[in-house]
Structure 1
Amino acid sequence: MKTIIHKADTRGYADHGWLKSHHTFSFSSYQNPERNNFGMLRVLNDDLVQPKMGFGTHPHQNMEIISIPLKGALSHKDSMGNKRAIEVGEVQVMSAGTGLTHSEFNDSKTDEVNFLQLWIIPEEMSVEPNYEQREFPIEGRNNKLQTIIAPKDKLEGDALPISQQAYIYRTNLEADNSLNLNLKSKDNGLYIFVVDGNVEVDGNLLNKRDAIGVYDTENIQIKSNDNSELVIVEVPMN
């Protein structure tokens, strides 16, 4: 088993006033040649958007983009005709493929929006763009894995589809609980991001917003010391 640890305070940080963003991997003005990706996981941004502010219309191409709101609601509008809010408990996925444009805005006059944005490199280029959004009930991840993203040819339950052999799971572990994960493929790795709480992975202690990448293994155990919330990404390593 091989591991790589990214502590919360080692992430890149950008303060644009209207947006405060922590970058796990190289992004925009934060460029770290040692942290360009974890396998096919290219971006994991922890964004805080101020009230009545947002991202203007901008393009994407050939990337799988997943948004997970943690606090507040983010209004979405795109070139495919979708116009709706993404709220806590929901997950949004966009397969940018041949190209699309979109904007995201915090309509609240008083409350910040905090959301995670993940980019996964697709396995096939120039697919037809796709947008989907779904609510995932919290009871579906209490002390167990909830699959929110899966390959479009191997969908599980209510998981949203992407064009890559990758999976994203959420779990809320109560204190003193543990979870065993079996990887889908020996060629995959797991990237475990602690949204909140305190967990141990392979003897490594991780706190809020810390992360660990694990690969060259077939399974891993996660033990929760406190009530903890995790986002886990399983991706091909090459």
Structure 2
Amino acid sequence: MTTILHKADSRGHANHGWLDSHHTFSFANYYDPKRMNFGVLRVLNDDVIAGGRGFGKHPHENMEIISIPLFGDLEHEDSMGNKEVIKEGDIQAMSAGTGVFHSEYNKNEDKEVHLLQIWILPKKRNIDPTYSQISMKLEDRKNKLQQIVSPNQDDAGVTINQNAWFNITELDKGNSIEYKLNDKTNGVYAFVIEGDASVNDQKLNRRDGLGIHEIETIDIKADSDTKVLIMEVPMTF
């Protein structure tokens, strides 16, 4: 078993006034050659967007982009003709493929948007761009695993162009859960959204991340009421 620990206060940080962003991996002006990725997990940004502000139209290509709102309402518009609002409980995925333009704005003037934006390197390059969005029931992650991303269209959650699975769980203090990998050659990156948890006996606090590979299962115990994002991803690309 191989592990890598990223404490919350070790992340890159940029505050642009309208955008306050923490970067688990190298991004924009934050560069650390030791923190480029975890397998195909390339970007894990923890963003807070001020009221009425956002990202203007900009391009992406050959990247799987997953947005997970934690608070507030984020308005998305893209060159594929999609115009949607996503909020807590919604999961959005975009396969940029050959190229797509999109914008993301805080729909409300009077409150912030908090979200995780995650980039995954794709399994196949230069595919036609696609967009998907789904609303998940928050109660279905209470003390159990709720799958939110997978490579299979018939599975729960949004579909991406990679052999990756994401789950969220909200555990009450003292409860525990086991996650079994779908593909034992993959690794798992566990990110504590809220609270405190022990992952394979490694104590983690709010916004800490732990990457583990060369394992088939991981154990998560809630040291306080906690919310954990579990990202199973290929380690080679």
* Aligned residues: CA RMSD: 0.9
Q: What's the counterpart of residue 89 of structure 1?
A: 89
Residues 125-150 of structure 1, C-alpha deviations (whole Å, 9 max, x = no match): 01110001110001111111111100
Q: In 2, Cα distance between the equivalents of 1:104 and 1:150?
A: 23
Instruction: Give the letter for the 1:147 counterpart.
Output: Q
Instruction: Write out aligned runs for 1:120-135 (5 A).
Output: 120-135=120-135
- Indicate the residue corresponding to 1:231 in structure 2: 229
Question: Which residue is equivalent to 1:39?
Answer: 39
Question: Aligned pair 1:20/2:20, yes or no?
Answer: yes
Which residue pairs with 1:192 in the alignment?
190
Letter in 2 for 1:164: Q
SS of residue in 1 equivalent to 2:9: helix
CA distance in 2, matches of 1:139, 1:183: 23
Matched ranges for 1:149-168 at <5 A: 149-152=149-152, 155-156=154-155, 158-168=156-166
Deviation of the 1:159 alpha carbon: 1.6
How big is each residue's C-alpha offset from its partner over 1:3-37, in whole Å with a ceiling of 9 and x where there is no partner?
11000000000011110100000000001100000
Q: Secondary structure at the match of 1:77?
A: strand
Q: Secondary structure of the equivalent of 1:36?
A: coil
Distance between the aligned counterparts of 1:184 and 1:89, measured in 2? 23
Structure 2's unaligned 5+ residue stretches are none
Aligned equivalents of 2:107, 2:178: Cα separation in 1: 40
Q: CA shift at 1:95, angstroms?
A: 0.4
Aligned length: 236
Cα distance in 2 for partners of 1:219, 1:198 equals 20
Tell me whether 1:171 sits opposite 2:140 in the alignment.
Answer: no
Deviations 1:170-197 (A, max 9, x none): 1101111111111112210000000001
Secondary structure of 2:139's match? helix
Which residue, 217, 220, 234 being the options, matches 1:219? Answer: 217
Q: Is the contact between residue 188 and residue 212 of structure 2 (CA under 8 Å) also seen in structure 1?
A: yes
Counterparts of 1:36 and 1:187, CA distance in 2: 20
Distance apart, 1:152 and its partner CA: 3.4
Q: TM-score, normalised by structure 1?
A: 0.97
Taking structure 2 as the reference length, what is the TM-score of the superposition?
Answer: 0.98
Match of 2:76 in 1: 76
Residue 119 of structure 2 aligns to which amino acid in structure 1? W
CA–CA separation in structure 2 for the residues paired with 1:14 and 1:148: 28
Deviations 1:76-98 (A, max 9, x none): 10000011111111010000001
Question: Take 1:224 and 1:217, find their aligned partners in 2: how far apart are those partners?
Answer: 21
Structure 1 residue runs of 4 or more that deviate by more than 4 Å after TM superposition:
none
User: CA–CA distance in 2 between the matches of 1:115 and 1:170?
Assistant: 14
Tell me what 1:181 maps to: 179
Q: Does structure 1 retain, via aligned residues, the 8 Å contact 2:91–2:157?
A: no
1:138 matched residue in structure 2? 138
Give the distance between the partners of 1:130 and 1:152, measured in 2 at CA: 14
Corresponding residue SS for 2:140: helix
Structure 2 residue 208 is the aligned partner of structure 1 residue 210: yes
Distance 1:169 1:162 in 2: 14
